[in-house]
Amino acid sequence: MDGIRFLLDILAIHFLFQSDIPAIEIYRNSDKYVLDLSPLRKQVIDFDYLELFYPKWIELTGRENTMDEYGMLLDFIGHARKSMGKKYLLMVVSRR
């Protein structure tokens, strides 16, 4: 299951940033890990791109098309765009 989850994480980063540049893992324990997405932040997609390509995301990942799924992506994009002036953009990925 960890391998599949890892691939989904890579797909999510590629989808959200439209980049093949890997995220930098800066911390890991048994439950979660932290990625530094700072070098990718200027490439984050916008809300229009999400709306247009969200069905493709669902198709590629096999995830359920729910308001939670869509809302999670909306929240991340909004946070990434609001924090453009910050020093870091970090993502905590939980295994639970």
Token couple for 26: 């800066």
Q: Which of 20, 80, 17 is nearest to 49 (CA)?
A: 17
State the chain's maximal CA–CA distance in angstroms: 36
Determine the number of helices (DSSP H) and then strands (DSSP E) in the chain: 3, 3
Query: Containing domain of residue 24, as a range?
Result: 2-94
Compute the average pLDDT of residues 47-76.
93
Q: What is the pLDDT of residues 6-39, one digit of tens each?
A: 666 788 889 999 988 888 999 999 889 999 999 9
Q: What percent of the chain has pLDDT over 90?
A: 62
| Better-scored residue on pLDDT, 66 or 6 | 66
> How much is the pLDDT for 94?
85
The number of distinct structural domains making up the chain is 1
Number of residues that make up the chain: 96
- pTM recorded for the entire structure: 0.82
Backbone angles phi, psi at 34, to 5 degrees: -120, 130
Kindly indicate the confidence band of residue 1, based on its pLDDT and cuts at 50, 70 and 90: very low
